[in-house]
Structures are given as C-alpha cells and as structure tokens.
A and B are shown apart, each in its own frame.
Chain A
Amino acid sequence: MSTSFTLNGKSTTLDADPNMPLLWAVREVAGLPGTKFGCGMALCGACTVHLDGKAIRSCVTPLSTVAGRKVTTIEGLASAPAKAVQAAWVKLQVPQCGYCQSGQIMSATALLETNPAPTEADIDSAMSGNICRCATYTRIRAAIHAAADSIKV
C-alpha cells in the first residue's frame, strides 16, 4: 500500500505499511536518516519532525496520518528561522554526542516559525519534550535566543 504526501517540499509516494510509524518510513523507506530513533514512545523527542509546520513525534505517528500533508525533516529545513537556528547551534557549539539534536532543532525551529521572540516560558513549553543525555540544555536555550535575535526585523 502506498501513501502520498509532501516530504521536504517534494511530492512523495512511499510504498509501505500505512501503520508503519512515519519515523521508519522516513528513515528506511525514504532514506533520510537525520531523524533519530530514541524511545519509540514519544518520550524523548529525538524523532521530532514537522507535520504542516507543527513539531510532532514521528515514532508514534502512523504513515497513514500524513497522507496529503506536508512533512519536513532535518534534511529539508529551509526557512529563515530554521537556518538561524542551525547557525546558532553551530556558533554556540550546542551539540555534544549529537544524537538528540535533530529533534531539538526541529522543535526549536517550529517554535521560532510561529513565535519569533519566545520568552523563557515559551522555550520551556516548546522544548520540554526533547531530552538530551549530554545535558546541553543551557546552550540550547542560549542558541534559541541567539537565533531569535538574529532574525529580528
């Protein structure tokens, strides 16, 4: 069975079990391994992608639910806030082991795309579902502020 949707701006049809989590459809069927598998239970945030611009956990999202919708993964980030987030991540040397960072960046980008000047509380609320084993949280917070500052008009 196949599912058609927009993946990173391109019309895509994946021939896979519609119950397969989007995470595995993206990683193994579409061949985009930037999105990570951490827990498989929406508890860690490593698998975060955007569905119609909103940050979701792809490990618990069946492929069938994205039919006809827009999915963006770390490989497809292109918006100004996304580029600002990635630049801030490099500038502030956020990643350590790096495994959670695709998910962190997807959550941070979804936040800035809807709220270009987030408060501390906004950041807490947007990022609370993304855990980091290296505890890079303080740099993540600083990088989100830096990214927000850099896209200020």
Chain B
Amino acid sequence: MTTNTSTATRPTRRDFLKSAGTVGAIALTIGFEWTGSARRALAGPVAPSAGATFAPNAFLRIGSDNSVTVIAKHVEMGQGAYTGIATVLAEELDADWARVRVESAPADAARYANLAFGKIQGTGGSSAMANSWMQLREAGGKARAMLLAAAAKEWRVPVAELTVEQGIVHHAAGKRHSSFGALVRTAAALPVPDTVQLKDPKDFKLIGRHVPRVDAAAKSDGTAQFTLDVALPGMLVALLKRPPLFGATVKSFDATAALAVPGVVKVVQVPRGVAVVARSFWAAKQGRDALNIEWDDSKAEKRSSAALMTEYRRLADQPALPARKEGDAVQAIKDASRKVSASYEFPYLAHAPMEPLDAVVRLTANSCEIWAGDQFQTVDQGNAARHWGY
C-alpha cells in the first residue's frame, strides 16, 4: 500500500450501517490504468506475465502466457474471499479456472472501495461478495466481450458466431480457436464496452459449484506469505511491552539492561507501552524481557472477569432498545401458561488471529509502504498519511 494518495476517514459502525443502503449504486471502474508495481499475493508469488498484457479494468489482467490474474480488493483472512472474488469474475469471463491467480489490490479507495462502506477499502461484516458481485461480473463480462471482439476482428467473422469455453475462444463454423493469451494484443487496443450482457444464472459453471480454493497449495507448502514473513534489507524488528492491565500507562522505565542486549538498537516509549528496536526478533525479545517498567494503574481497568459478568447480568436486566414492537409481549409472557427461560453467557473473546498482530513499514522521504494483516487498508493509509504529513 503506498500512502501518497487520497484521504480516508475512520468509519464508525453507524457509518457502515448508513452506507449499507448504497450497495445498489454500483459504478464499474473500467478504464483505470493498472500501474501494477508487482504486489505480493497471499496465494503465492505471481510472476508478471511476459509480453503483452490485457488489463481492461482494475480487477483483471490477462497475459499473453494465458495467465488470468484477478486483483482482489478484499482481504483474504481465511474466509475464502480470494476464491469467491475470482470465481465471480472468472465465471463471466469464461476463464480456465486452472489458470486463474489472485493478487492483492493496492490501497486505493477510488478504485477498490467496499461499495457497502462508502469511500473505504475494507473487508468485514460479510460484505465482500455482496458489494462486489455486480462489479466483478461486469469486469469479467466486459473483458470477455473484448476478447470476443478481438477474435472476430482477427478472423473477420461475426461476434455472434463465437463461443468461449475455459479460456479458449471458438469459431465452430471456421474450425478456428484461440486462447485468451493469443488475443491479448488485439483486445488491448479495443474500446471497453459501456454495457455487457451478463449470464443467465442457469448457465453458471463456477458460481454455485465447489471451486478449489486458490490459496490451498501455497498454504500447504509454506510458501504463502504472511506479514511476519516480509523481510526487507536492513529491516529492524520492534517488540512492544504492553501494560498488564487495560488502560495502564508507563510511569517510568529503565532501559539500561535492554540496551545492553547485543543487537538492541533503541528503546522507545510509545502510547501503548515501551518498544524495543533490534536487528533481529530474538534480540528484540531478549531486550523486551530485560525492560524494567513501572506502570501507572490509576486509570486501568481493574475489575475481574467475575465482576464484569455480574455487571453484564445487571445490564441484561435493564430495559433495552426495542428492535421491533408487535402486540403486548410483556403481558403475553406474563399470562403464558408455560414459561421457558434460558441464559447464555460467554466470556470476553479476543479478536486474535494466530499470527501475532504485526506490521511492516517501509518509510522513505515521500512514501510509506505498509504490510499488515488488517481489514481496512485505506483507513491505515489515511492514518499513516496524516501521521507523516504527506
């Protein structure tokens, strides 16, 4: 993500809800030029295709080597977004699923906003497929139309006589066929159509079927790249020592022992605690263990889990906001001959993935590149831009 463009604002839950009504207003971002500096993909490295490339919109690139690269504006967190997104686009494109690869889109709210959230690129609330459904279908359908037009032009036959199956355009009468890759050069010179006839759902070949996940192989041989695996030349590793209580702050700290650990470069106080910066993880870890911190617990959360549960029970007994009102439920329950009651309790659940929360930042005089397992790329982009004053 390169943070030299746009500003994004932090969405609130209310904003999400308010903007959820805009899903229907979909504008296809066809015509944008893809300036792809090769982005890493969690589904494995994608080699830039040699020769000509057909990139009719922000979501698709077809190489002369027949590679079909779908650019995913949503984050793959294990929920299958990459596979779902690729399925929808590949369906309307009639691509060969075996040639489909997925690449992460850069942070760019103009091209890659979540249409359910407004001007924010983000993944959450089960919105990925719903908001991008028509956008991806049109992206695939328009590309398919252009490939057909390219074949019609090359063979001097009517488009209506052409069919497409698994990435091959056929002209049955003329006994000719051509792969997408061979049509890339001609297709790239054609205009993007304004509208396109999408498939009748009864003709779907991929949507609604069990399509193999695009990321299964890379996640079974250790090649899938996570934030923790990003290694840059001269990169330093920082580990944070956080307070043992929520809301506690640093009163004072002694970094002498931490700084004596070989490989430790610096110790810095940050809003959430103290960071140890070192040349390797192990040095940073030893440095962090050697920190001597006195915490200020005066504003910290000190209630126990049991006390919190008691508070939840008390709140649960209070009148709540009615979601819907029909009849006189209170009276009906009072008069009921048989009453059933049950209570369900569950503890605080950390929204914690297996990969420890981490981020890699490459900062230069005029750019900030971030790798992180986050859900809202353009919010991070906006925050970083504000922080660094870009």
Q: Chain A: residues with CB nearer than 8 A to chain B?
A: 17, 20-21, 24, 27-28, 31-38, 40, 44, 46, 73-75, 77, 86, 89-90, 93-102, 105, 131-134
> Which 5 pairs between the two chains have the least Cβ-Cβ distance?
A34-B222, A97-B78, A98-B219, A96-B78, A74-B222
Complexed CA–CA distance, A101 and B281 (Å): 22
A93–B285 contact, CB under 8 A? no
Residue of A whose beta carbon sits closest to that of B80: A96
- Specify which of B77, B217, B224 is in contact with A90 (CB 8 Å cutoff): B217
Given A33-B229, A134-B78: A21 touches B282 (CB 8 Å cut-off): yes
Given A20-B282, A97-B77: A86 touches B354 (CB 8 Å cut-off): no
Residue of B whose beta carbon sits closest to that of A95: B219
List the A side residues contacting B215 at CB < 8 Å.
Answer: 95, 98
Complexed CA–CA distance, A73 and B213 (Å): 24
Given A36-B355, A38-B356, A89-B216: A98 touches B224 (CB 8 Å cut-off): yes
B340-363: contact bitstring with A at CB < 8 Å (1 yes, 0 no)?
A: 000000000000111110000000
Interface size of B by CB at 8 A reads 32
Whether B79 is near chain A, meaning CB under 8 Å from some CB there, is yes
Complexed CA–CA distance, A36 and B42 (Å): 15
Q: How far is the CB of B153 from the nearest CB of chain A, in Å?
A: 40
A105–B220 contact, CB under 8 A? yes
List the A side residues contacting B354 at CB < 8 Å.
Answer: 36, 38, 44, 46, 97, 99-100, 131-133
B228–A133 contact, CB under 8 A? no
Residue of B whose beta carbon sits closest to that of A89: B220
Residue of A whose beta carbon sits closest to that of B224: A98
| Known interface pairs A44-B354, A90-B220; 4 further A-B residue pairs with C-beta atoms within 8 A, sorted by A's residue number | A75-B222, A98-B219, A101-B219, A133-B352
List the A side residues contacting B229 at CB < 8 Å.
Answer: 33
Whether B389 is near chain A, meaning CB under 8 Å from some CB there, is no
Q: Main SS of the interface on chain B? A: loop
Most chain A beta-carbon contacts within 10 A, residue among B222, B223, B280, B282: B222
Complexed CA–CA distance, A90 and B219 (Å): 9
Whether B221 is near chain A, meaning CB under 8 Å from some CB there, is yes
Most chain B beta-carbon contacts within 10 A, residue among A89, A93, A102, A133: A93
Whether B212 is near chain A, meaning CB under 8 Å from some CB there, is yes
Task: Count CB-based A-B contacts (< 8 Å).
Answer: 91
A95–B355 contact, CB under 8 A? no
Q: How far is the CB of A90 from the nearest CB of chain B, in Å?
A: 5
Q: How far is the CB of B78 from the nearest CB of chain A, in Å?
A: 3
B226–A73 contact, CB under 8 A? no
Complexed CA–CA distance, A32 and B225 (Å): 11
Most chain B beta-carbon contacts within 10 A, residue among A77, A86, A90: A90
List the B side residues contacting A74 at CB < 8 Å.
Answer: 221-222
Q: How far is the CB of A20 from the nearest CB of chain B, in Å?
A: 5
Complexed CA–CA distance, A5 and B225 (Å): 26
Residue of A whose beta carbon sits closest to that of B228: A37
Complexed CA–CA distance, A111 and B288 (Å): 36
- Specify which of B42, B79, B282 is in contact with A17 (CB 8 Å cutoff): B282
Q: How far is the CB of B291 from the nearest CB of chain A, in Å?
A: 16
B266-283: contact bitstring with A at CB < 8 Å (1 yes, 0 no)?
A: 000000000000001110
Whether B306 is near chain A, meaning CB under 8 Å from some CB there, is no
Complexed CA–CA distance, A95 and B217 (Å): 9
List the A side residues contacting B321 at CB < 8 Å.
Answer: none
Given A34-B221, A74-B222: A93 touches B280 (CB 8 Å cut-off): no
Whether B231 is near chain A, meaning CB under 8 Å from some CB there, is yes
Q: How far is the CB of A67 from the nearest CB of chain B, in Å?
A: 17
List the B side residues contacting A133 at CB < 8 Å.
Answer: 352-354
